[in-house]
Structure 1
Amino acid sequence: MLIATLIFALAAGTESVLASARTSPTAAPQYHTLPSLRDQAAVQDAWRAERKTIIPGLLEKHGADAWLMSQREYAEDTVFWSLKAATQFSSRRRTTILYVPGNSSVLGRSAAVTARTQVLADPASGLTATEFYWIDNTPGLWTEMQAVLAAVDPARIVINAAEDLAFSSGMHAGELAAVKRGLGSPWAGRLVSDTPLLAIEFVATMVPSRLEWYRRLQETAWAVISEAFSSRVVAPGSTTTADVEWWMRDRLQAQNMTTWFQPSVSVIPPGGSFFGAQADALTSAATIQYGDMLHVDFGITALGLNTDTQHLGYVVPPAGHPLRATSGKDLVPAGLRKGLAAGNRLQDLTRNTMSRSIGRSGNEILQDCRAVMDREGWKGLLYSHAIGDWGHAAGAVIGMTNLQDAVPVLGDLPLLANMYYSVELLAEVFVDEYNATMTFPLEEDIYWNSATSTWEWVYGRQEKFHLVLPEGESAGPALALEEL
């Protein structure tokens, strides 16, 4: 689709938060088809091998003399899902993984140690680490691990047992008790859970080779939304929001993809609560009518990756309808276009503030953004999050819908480079045509571009409404902001 160029000028003395003039694709988004399951597994395993090379550097960065994970089938450590091979669907028996700095592979060649061993080399730092991998539900596991630990003598053995951080608390309580009992003294006394960023940074890091497919998945998400919010799917007066949700699920299934949550399609009412409309959509379906502003929250799951996208659509009334826009310049009322533009402005603010904030906490970024919003009189909410291996993934949270000053624990995490992030927010704008304040929720995924030291859109961002057009009509020209 042709996307309008939206250029914002901030008030004098306000720090610029602008991105490039054009930040959305100029061609219609296309569907992408996954390769065969066998080829998908090869791709995912290559990504996994590439990501494991960062472990030596992470061990040194976070002062870990060893990193231990242990789990049983259906009670896996959260980090296991980022470490497993593509053909592993759960851990087998008791699966125990130990990482120690340096090349200790000679221990793995000992007749007394049956663990599978692998030396990981970080090409960036030149550091190495050894992985010991046991699948064993006998007491012999603990005897072997004691021998390895005695050889390397780690002072701090990091485990994932933090209290408040899901990606660093994956060792189940029963497994932790078994590990302590099995290791005995002195090793049980050297287990520590005070290094949560080790697990978080491993899960958060997205290796460069993933980006090409992540961009394809994001474009596919756009393609599904573009078709869903069109006259090919929506017939005003008969199609319900639930009909569109299930159509999106079916369309994804046709692509051999799935979603990590039920798509949420809702009608945003003038002056009403967006979150109330979303909640209503979970229990009852609204019939879509001419003049409705539509919202969708939609995420794709494929190849071990997840996307998260929120877009807006408008159901264009036919000529002669009392709700038909009469300006002649656009099929969408000017007030709604201004609302979308305000959402784009908050996206620019968030993304560009993040580009200056690697290493700073999510709460610090939130406070910086809120300060600009307060100074400029911009109304809205920020609630952005990491994405990647999970929909709500490991990393700093920048606000929550009910926490706009600071987010405990998750907001205190630092923003990391080399990860994917969902810029999720809403703008609140008074719409003259409806004589009411309306909410404009948007969400797009970004990635860290190490070459430019900036966060950039994975595929683009919405700058023009998806249109459900009356039969026989086509969209008019896109408008620049100065025409609004």
Structure 2
Amino acid sequence: MIITPVVTSLRTQIDLRVQWLAERLTLLLPELMERAQIDLWIVTAREYNEDPVIMTLLPAPAMNARRRTILLFARCPDGTVEQLTLDRYGYGDLYRQAWSPDTESQDDCLARLVAEYDPQRIGINMSSTFAFADGLTYTEYQRLCAALGPRYAERCVSAEALVIGWLERRIPAELAVYPELVALGHRIIATAFSRAVITPGVTTTDDVVWWLRQTMHEAGVQAWFQPTVSIQAHGMPFDVPPTRNRIWPGDLLHCDVGFCHLGLCTDQQQHAYVVARNETAPPAGLVAALAQANRLQDILLDEMRVGRTGNQVLAATRARALAEGLQPSIYSHPLGYHGHAAGPTIGLWDHQEGVPGAGDYPLYDETVYSIELNNVALVPEWGNQPVRIALEEDAALTGGAMVWLHGRQTQLHVIE
């Protein structure tokens, strides 16, 4: 089976991402700066030590900052945002090149422009909660304060709300292509969990892992973490170290796969069952266990509402799930430019009581999430052995409602 990316031409990919960036700067940035009450946003970084957010602001095919790059975003009285760059080479039409190295130093240019705009609140990328919003290095901070002088340095505030808003928010064009990315992930998993890749008694989990990694590489998408494949079986529970990695009939397989394409990331987990001798289908207990995990997904999506914090969603979901007799664990996260992306944390596997800081951030509309969770159920056919069904599917909060981007797994992949 040939698996190809959503957009195969590298040049077309670049053109599309530049178009999206232009739309984002025009459509989103004025709203987000107003919401965060930031008058001037300064993003500064040095080559090979880039601020996480600056790479989402530089137009492709730029792959890093050039020497020292400073971007300025200034709110204007008419509601627009002026976009400037202070670097030697410029970034095309998206940013007005505001520094002439032949006439003044970069720091003098920055000081002059800030004085001209005279902003009351200057956003800089410092945050104790979100790494994405903490990209201003100590040296750059010192240099920035020295250039601004005491008057304007005192007006510097954390740009955390602006950074997270910029990273998490999706424009219509991005939301339109996201289902295709998720569908590609589903095709990759379906092929991995088939006889095209797995021969019971021969294939190991490592073989499948490297097939996944190689396939993503050949498909022109970039894995953002090493895939995993694991086994549960009768007498081989999920909560003890595995005794083997060779796949046999009667095994319940699990995978975790995620990639980035067109600057957007996916994250998916699904299960497959290897039919044992004298079986024609998976045991009814495994089918029921998957249905219970699907029910947990339903509850979580129902509780994910605009304005609620990640911790509020987590608590409400767990309360309902426990009341229904489920054994839930919820650790969902935003998706976007990054795999574990900017936005509200909805549980961690080791923090089911809530996550201070990142879990207190609210859900906003037009955002994307990895619905990651598991539920433990007893399987009668395996002597009532506990089995963990760990699922992860991608969904969007758009128009005030949660929707799956390309469906979800409701049936086990079956390997004959």
Q: TM-score normalised to the size of structure 2?
A: 0.92
1:390 Cα deviation from its structure 2 partner: 0.3
Q: Does 1:41 align with 2:14?
A: yes
Q: Which of 160, 166, 172 does residue 208 from structure 1 map onto?
A: 172
Structure 1 gaps, min length 5:
1-27, 104-125, 470-484
Letter in 2 for 1:252: M
* 1:335-354 pair list within 5 angstroms: 335-354=285-304
Question: Where has structure 1 moved over 6 Å in runs of 4 or more?
Answer: none
1:81 Cα deviation from its structure 2 partner: 1.8
1:156 Cα deviation from its structure 2 partner: 1.3
**Which of structures 1 and 2 has the larger relative contact order (alpha carbons within 8 angstroms, sep 6+)?**
1
Q: Distance in 2 between matches of 1:220 and 1:29?
A: 11
Q: Which of 465, 475, 479 does residue 412 from structure 2 map onto?
A: 465
C-alpha distance after superposition, 1:212-251 (max 9, x if no partner): 3221111111111111111111111110000001111122
1:269 Cα deviation from its structure 2 partner: 3.9
Report the 3-state secondary structure (helix = DSSP H, G, I; strand = E; otherwise coil) of the residue aligned with 1:184.
Answer: helix
CA contact (8 A) 2:267 2:370 kept: yes
The verdict on how the C-alpha distance between 1:166 and 1:314 changes in structure 2, with shifts beyond 3 A counting, is same
Letter in 1 for 2:300: T
Q: Distance in 2 between matches of 1:285 and 1:410?
A: 38
CA contact (8 A) 1:215 1:459 kept: yes
Q: TM-score normalised to the size of structure 1?
A: 0.79
The verdict on how the C-alpha distance between 1:208 and 1:184 changes in structure 2, with shifts beyond 3 A counting, is same
Flag the structure with larger Rg.
Answer: 1
* 1:52-91 pair list within 5 angstroms: 52-53=25-26, 54-91=28-65
Letter in 2 for 1:49: A
1:154 Cα deviation from its structure 2 partner: 0.9
Q: Does 1:150 align with 2:98?
A: no
Q: Over aligned residue pairs, what C-alpha RMSD do you find?
A: 2.0
1:275 Cα deviation from its structure 2 partner: 6.4
Letter in 2 for 1:427: N
Letter in 2 for 1:161: M
Q: Which of 442, 453, 462 does residue 391 from structure 2 map onto?
A: 442
C-alpha distance after superposition, 1:166-221 (max 9, x if no partner): 1111111111111112222312222112x411100100011110123221111111
1:361 Cα deviation from its structure 2 partner: 0.7
C-alpha distance after superposition, 1:130-181 (max 9, x if no partner): 1121115976122222222212211111111112211111111111111112
* 1:31-180 pair list within 5 angstroms: 32-53=5-26, 54-102=28-76, 127-136=79-88, 140-180=105-145
Q: Which of 254, 258, 265 does residue 295 from structure 1 map onto?
A: 254
The verdict on how the C-alpha distance between 1:308 and 1:275 changes in structure 2, with shifts beyond 3 A counting, is farther
Q: Distance in 2 between matches of 1:178 and 1:245?
A: 46
1:448 Cα deviation from its structure 2 partner: 2.2
C-alpha distance after superposition, 1:357-399 (max 9, x if no partner): 2111100011101111222221120100001100000000111
Taking only the aligned residue pairs, the percentage that are identical comes to 36
Letter in 2 for 1:262: Q
Q: Distance in 1 between matches of 2:240 and 2:363?
A: 31
Q: Distance in 1 between matches of 2:378 and 2:111?
A: 66
Number of residue pairs matched by the alignment: 401
The aligned residue for residue 199 of structure 1 is: 163
C-alpha distance after superposition, 1:298-337 (max 9, x if no partner): 01221111100000000012xxx2xx33xxxx60100000
The verdict on how the C-alpha distance between 1:461 and 1:422 changes in structure 2, with shifts beyond 3 A counting, is same
Letter in 1 for 2:332: S
CA contact (8 A) 2:377 2:388 kept: yes
C-alpha distance after superposition, 1:421-450 (max 9, x if no partner): 000000111100112111000000001232
C-alpha distance after superposition, 1:102-129 (max 9, x if no partner): 16xxxxxxxxxxxxxxxxxxxxxx7211
CA contact (8 A) 1:51 1:205 kept: no
Q: Which of 262, 268, 274 does residue 315 from structure 1 map onto?
A: 274
Q: Does 1:243 align with 2:207?
A: yes
The verdict on how the C-alpha distance between 1:239 and 1:40 changes in structure 2, with shifts beyond 3 A counting, is same
Report the 3-state secondary structure (helix = DSSP H, G, I; strand = E; otherwise coil) of the residue aligned with 1:185.
Answer: helix
Letter in 2 for 1:292: D
